[in-house]
Amino acid sequence: MGQASFQAITLDTGNTDEQAVLVLKGGRLAAVLSHLSDLHGDLAGLWFVEAMFGNPPRRPRHTFASPDEFAAWLDAAGA
């Protein structure tokens, strides 16, 4: 599937978790990650998987330190 690339986007969440990235693999949209805001206390600054597409493993419930860390997780999961 090749390297993941990221494209910044603004989410219409109705709250402060609006900074996000689209995760693209092979030119296709694989996932949407949001950058957690101060709304989430200790989790602020981490990345949360809002959605995954294609034939992915189960959407992880845990957060990631960066989009790169998520891409590595996705590779390790074989997606």
Partner 1 sequence: MTSAQNDAFGVLVRKLSRLSALSEADKLAVAELPFRMATAPPGAHLVREGDQVTECCVLLRGYAFRYKTTADGNRQIVSFHLAGDILDIQHLLLSRADHGIETLTEASVAWVPTTALKTLVEERRSVSEAIWRDALIDASIFREWVLNVGQRDAKSRIAHMLCEFALRRETAGLGTPERFELPMSQQHIADATGLTAIHVNRMLMALANDGVLERDRRDVKIADWELMRKAGDFDASYLHMAA
Positions touching partner 1 (CB under 8 A) are 13-15, 17, 36, 39-40, 43, 48, 58, 61, 63
Kindly tell me which of 3 and 10 has the beta carbon lying closer to partner 1.
10
Minimum distance from residue 2 beta carbon to partner 1 (Å): 28
**What is the rounded CA–CA span in Å between residue 74 and residue 10?**
22
Give the CA diameter of the chain.
35
Q: Which residue lies nearer to partner 1 by CB, 61 or 76?
A: 61
The two tokens of residue 74 are 């996705």
Residue type for 65, please? A
